[in-house]
Each structure stands twice: as C-alpha cells, then as structure tokens.
Amino acid sequence: MAACGSASGDEGTVKIGVVGASDPYWATYTEAAKAEGIDVEIVDFAEYTQPNPALTEGELDLNQFQHIIYLARYNVASGADLTPIGSTAIYPLGLYSTQYDSVEDIPEGSTVAVPNDESNLARGLLVLQSAGLVSLKDGGSVFATLDDLDEAKSKVKVTTLEASLTPTSLPDVAAAIVNNDFVEDAGLKAEDAIAQDDPSDPKAIPYVNIFAARAGEEENETYLKLVQIYQETQAVQDGVQKASGNTAEFLKVPVQDLRDSLAEVQQDIENLD
C-alpha cells in the first residue's frame, strides 16, 4: 500500500512524528509495518510544540504523541483541522520527587514544577489538587491555569517549565509533574510517582493518546492499517508497556467518539475565548 501524504518524496514511506523515538518499541513498530508492506520513518521531536505544525505543513504524514485536549488547543489556536484516526493508550500523569517519599512530606510553601503547555498544565494542577497540594477555584477543570490557583488555600507554590525540563528541575524543587515521555529518560520509574491521576475515569477520553492526520486523509487505508498495527501487535504493546513502566492502558476508542470529544473540547475552548 502506498501512502497518500506529501511528507516524503519517497512514495510509500510514511513519516510519523513522535516525541521520544529512542523508545525501542518504535523500531519494533517499523519492523511490524514493514512486514505488512508499509515503510515507516519515525521522526523524533524534542518538544511537544513541534509535531503538529510539522504535520499541518506536510512535513509529516501522521503524528502520535498527544491526547485530544492537546490537539484541540492546537487546532483552535492555529486554525488547523488535524483529526484523530485512532486511539493508542492513556497514561496517568505522575508527580515525582527526589527529596520526599510522599505528598504529605512536602513542606508548606515549597515549590512544585508542572509542564507549561496548556493541556498538561491543567492536568498537572488537577493532580496536585487531588494530592492536597493546591486548591483550584471552583474545583478546577481541564482548562485550569495558574490564575485558577487559590493561593491562600494551597500548600505549595507552582512554577511552570517546558515539559522536557520538569524532570531536570527535581533537584531544585520539592516535586515535579513529569510527563510519561520523559520519565524513563530522566532515570525515573513510573512506580516511583508519589501521586497520579486515574486513567480509568470515564471522563478521561480527552486524555486518550491518538494518531492524528490532516483532515481529508482520515480514511487513508495505509494510515488506518498503521493504527491497527500499533493496536494489535503484541511486541509493540509489550514495548510500550516497558517504556511506560507498565502504566499504559491500551484503548480502542471508536474513532467517532474521539472526533466527537475533539469537537466538544474545541467548542469549549472557543467559548472560553
């Protein structure tokens, strides 16, 4: 099967943008795709801000690194219309510390770092609230920002950093929210998290990770086959689990449910504006 995207001059090679291509399962995935007659090139990006513009501009055919909320924010901010074509997994977002063994040990007035991208900032703040470290006005939401912090009722101060920098901040802060993509590279283990959110929550669809494509290419048979290979190849699933410290929860969410969730979140964002 030949890809219909324009990212590669080598017809038949599908370029997929990811964050964390060093994970061995991507090599396993490309081998599994090759066995099905599909040539895949994994394109690595250092920051979450990069794969969506690259996909929009035709430098990639697909990307696989984000959840629905992140994609919704990008689409609204940029005017793009990237769309989910399949689900992969959902991952808990963890709070880590190299100084304290539990959230109860974190001193009042100390500083905690969270990712500064909007979707993971909100999710990180909700993790901190569930752990009793901060209080958010009106209980917070998936759109929470630092402005929603009730400082008088919060135990800690919050600082924001690029997602890739939160693990390196650990020597300088009481704790940090570290996205799954950076846990292993930072020498951390997912089971060492002192707090995390619940990926089995029925309201969690906006946090499901996805394969994304440009609108108009969502029925591309090659792309859909690549989603299926990710979802159904045991060696790939095993590799994802190993890389995630056995925290990944694999999901096959109906694509229409993903698109409905995307549309709903995008509408909520536009209403906020």
Instruction: Describe the crossing of helices 255-272 and 68-78 by its angle, rounded to 10 degrees.
Output: 50
Say what the pLDDT of residue 11 is.
Answer: 56
Q: Is the pTM of this model over 0.85?
A: no
Residue 7: per-residue pLDDT:
57
CB atoms within 10 A of CB 198: 10
CATH 3.40.190.10 fits 13-91+202-272, yes or no: yes
For 2-18, what is the mean pLDDT? 67
pLDDT (0 to 100) of residue 174 = 99
pLDDT recorded at residue 183: 87
Question: pLDDT tens digits for 238-253?
Answer: 999 988 878 889 999 9
96: pLDDT strictly greater than 80 = yes
Is the pLDDT confidence value at 5 over 60? no
Class of domain 94-196: alpha beta
Name residue, tokens 């394969």.
211
Residue 202 pLDDT grade (very low, low, confident, very high; cuts 50, 70, 90) = low
According to DSSP, the residues that pair with 64 across neighbouring strands are 211
- Mean pLDDT of all residues in 66-92: 96
For 273, residues 6+ apart whose C-beta sits below 8 A from its C-beta are 76
User: What average pLDDT does the structure give for the chain?
Assistant: 92
29 vs 21: CA distance, rounded Å: 11
- List where CATH 3.40.190.10 sits in the chain: 13-91+202-272, 94-196
Query: Is the pLDDT reported for residue 119 higher than 80?
Result: no
Task: Report pLDDT digits (tens) over 125-179.
Answer: 999 999 999 999 998 888 899 999 999 999 999 999 999 999 999 999 999 999 9
Q: Tell me the average pLDDT across 15-25.
A: 94
**What was the pLDDT predicted at 2?**
34
